[in-house]
Structure 1
Amino acid sequence: MTYNLYLSALLMAATCCSLILCYLSWKRRELPISISYGLGMLAGAFYTFGYAFEITSSTLEDIRFWLRVEYIGIPFGSTIWIIMVLQYTGRQALIRKPFIALLMLVPMVTFVAHYTNEWHHLFYSSMSIDSSAGFPLVHLVKGPLYALHLGYSYFFFAIGMGLMIQMYRKAMPRMKKQVAFMMIGSLGPFGFPIIYLSGILHVPIDISPFGFIFSGVFYMWGIYQFNMLRLAPLALQKVFESMQDAVIVVDLDNCITGYNQSASRLIDGLNDKGAIGQSAAELFSLYPTLLEIITKDPALNNKVQISRHGEDRFYHAHMTTISDKKLKPVGRMLLLSDITETVHYEERLLHSARQLAELNAFKDKMFNVVAHDIRDPLAVLINLMELMEEEMQTCGGSHAEIVDEMGQQIQNTFTLVESLLEWFQSQRGGMVFHPVIRDLAHTVQTNIRLMQVRSVGKNITILSEISDGLYVFADKEMLDLIIRNLLSNAIKFTEYGGSITLKAEHADGKIIVSVSDTGSGIPADQADSLLQESYPASSLGTAGERGVGLGLTLCREFVRLNGGEIWFDSTLEQGSTFYFSLPAPPKASAPSRHELGRKEIV
């Protein structure tokens, strides 16, 4: 038995090895690199399979047939290999249809030239049988198109090896082993032909197909020992199943091995061509929270905030360990789920909860005020009634002083009850805050008319200089109570024949309303704490009017609940001006008077 039969069996084994690698690549066909790698192995399988039968053929016609089988794969092997290298080194962006079509131009010329060589003899100038080795071998005289094919193949081989050497230099230690096996495995299909064509080894048989045996050994070793197809890990199947979430895959050395388009749009640096293989510490230097999750605590779930184009977005960061079939860790996957809407919804809920808590606390304060302020005047009334009964029993004199005092106390109690009725009526069914668009001039005039009896009694002129068409965004009942209480205080502390003026202006998205009087002013000892105390003491008015200390407290709380502020200026014996601000309507256009009136009536 001549040694060509042994070589043929060895080549058939190499063919089987290549087909096994094709099968492994097909199982991981979700990634483009697996497809290119599998196609490269398939091209090699055609080469080794055809050459196994070529060296056992006895006629030139049979050899020519098996050469055609070999050249189903030979012209395209180098092109498929350079595509795989571009994908492996993170240059996937270069691989586009026009680029692939350009790469395939010379391989297609080689394929056609080989199959039509009998017509032009530009690929092989001549073919003959040489039996000097003890069995028939073909002797080929190469033509110019063969030289084109050879130069094309080794041109891209040099480029591909340069790219992998560059990747090897930048890679972490664990990744270096994988890159080294890729380079050694690639030397087989390209290195063996160089040795044969250079004549260093004086062998009659073409050793080029045996390079695939060499490559198969290293590739198989790399796959099972170093998981060389880690660029198609199990985790990346999840990447393409959930493209809405940003997914970043890192190896055990915290180097980037993969990411999806959502991640590249979110993280600066991932859209660079050289992101694959870089350290996470470099790429995530602007995202310290994400870097901490990746490098320090992979089991940590965090809410992270990322700013993109001036907009803050919130993401739930989840780190997962990736294991192979033997449960051996091979990397980790960072999943970023957009929870911006959820965070905003939670913030709105928290704001509403705080507002409800404030409203309930304010209600509790009001009940305390009510309990305190109703008890005292009623107790005085009871004492006065007892005194009057005793006086009436002992003497029949005039009791005008006691009766006047009782009348004043009864009037104060009535005023308090009236304020409380307004308050409870506005809050019927619980604390309600419902801001609407209101015509400020119309609201002020309505409340001036309600104060007319008291103002006429002291001959006080109330003038509103607020123009029509000025709108505010506030709760209807609260706005009425604010204006009515400020007017009531102004009347209370203004001398007979004085005046009260209301004005309003638009400033910085707010409407500022002022209520000015020509009254007695506020003493300095009261001015510092008037709007700070929870329950300010009531003072006598210019006509001896007494209050219950509830009005300014209500005004202050209601203005704050509507999103505004309240303050005042005062000069003794010259008068006071109370200011409060309210939000302007959220829309530029205000409703018509007919629409506004209809809303207020409802």
Structure 2
Amino acid sequence: MNPTIELILMSASVVMSGIILFFVYGYRKERGVSYLIGLIACRMIYSASIIMEKSSYLLMDKLIFRHLQSTALNFIVPCFILFVYQLVGREKLVKPIWRVALFSVFALWSLLSWFDSELHVIYRLIELINGHLVTSRTVYSIAFGLLCFSIIVGGVFFLFQYIRNIRSDFRKPGMWVLFLSMFPFALEVARLIQPEWSPWLLSLSVYCGFTGMLMLVIMLRIKFFAVVPFARTIVLDTLQESIVITNASGKIIDSNKQASRWFAGMGHTEISGRDVKELLEPWPEWRRLCESMQEGRATIEAWLDGERKIYNVNVYPVHRLRKQGSVSLVVDVTEKEKHLEQIAQLNRMKDQLFTIVSHDIRSPLASQYQLIAMLEEDQNRFDEEHREIVGMLGDQIRQTLGMTNNLLEWFRSQREDMALRPQWLELSEVAEDCCHMLRAQSEAKQIEMKNAIPAGTRVYADREVLGLVLRNLLSNAVKFTRTGGSVRVSARVSDELATISVSDNGVGMDEKQVLRLFEEKALNSLLGTAGERGTGLGLLVSRQFVERSGGKMWAESRAGQGSVFYFTVRGGKEG
């Protein structure tokens, strides 16, 4: 994991532990809670010191925070012992003098760790390996660790016995909480057995420590104090969504403040105890889901403060098999619907623009292209000045028509309802047609254009899409090939897949240009070897159509040595 992300997540865990500590502090007079507060505080100090250790670079700094970790862990043990004794009702067995003695033992051991550089009682070896502090414990330290773990195991056993005897509906959740809260303990045992695992076990301990504390808090609220009702009120009333809870009889038994305000805005001052048949009469689908206690979603409309609002209502059953009721979450989607309508309007405008470009711009350009092609065929009848004008005019019309075609095809590729019409095609014939369309452009630069696709090569593709892709690749090849160069289109078929390539011996590209070639953000066009202009849309449109056809497109090139563009389509035998 990225070190920065790891530190952020660990810091978030410490903050959440602090929030839990704040809530638990409000119940400090309840049985067992006072020592639970100390336990959570020690875990917070332990987690914070791990973060500081990971953020430090010097051995001395890391060692200080490691000592702080050890101190926090040491004090967790007496807090845990006294917490268990108070929880199970045996706190009278622990006299005040014994409590002082218990804390004194662990305080003394913690003090030894801070002076261990002279005493060498705790650590046998301390090393900084790859930025991580790795320690090797002495026999005394290992023995003390085993003693602590034995004490914790004893406390867990007492908790286990206690949970076994509580009410049956709390027994299973309590066992799960006890099981989950043991993950930090298991990680500390692993650290003792395998010290070299410490760098990554420390991070896990922060996360699992928070989880363990959260589980313990949940366990305690089940039996002794109202952490969840208190937290529930804060959480539910903070939500901007309305929450409505019904029972199996179809009566509303609970709701949050937002739901009360929402119904009050429609004239229902009190909703608790109301029947959904009456209250939800304007919204039959929502009422049906609540009455049947089925999971589902309904879209409803309501008028609040003279404004029409749209809501999504998500209904979830409570204990579906036993049919105990349902929970409804009402989400305001009015703004979302407005945005969707705006998007729909923009899409309609785009389609209108598409139609305008298709009929009012492309058609005249196509006619001009045909006329200029006829003039170019008879250009020998003109003098030199007129031939030059006809050539320049032809280049401009071809470039404009090519740009328009690419723009239209790009619009077409963005339509979700665009349907391709694949069929079996003779690839060499399609390639020959494309070469013929670009013949004037290639002959103007004296470039040899060769169709090397053998007759009988069959592909399964949309003819318009295949022609568009080939024309774009051939046009680019001619554009970036110097006078007297060559362009070649070829194909090979294997495993029912045809790989078509367009190669040239033009200016080529460096590795960086190749990597940026198909990026939408890099939508620009370079001048050709004869100053030809473009929009950069051709490759983008071609790649999108190839991918929609189930193929892929890539390029290979070296600066000064030409380029090869590849794309794949389905090929092989027909049928």
* TM-score, reference length from structure 1: 0.35
Q: TM-score, normalised by structure 2?
A: 0.36
Which one has the largest radius of gyration? 1
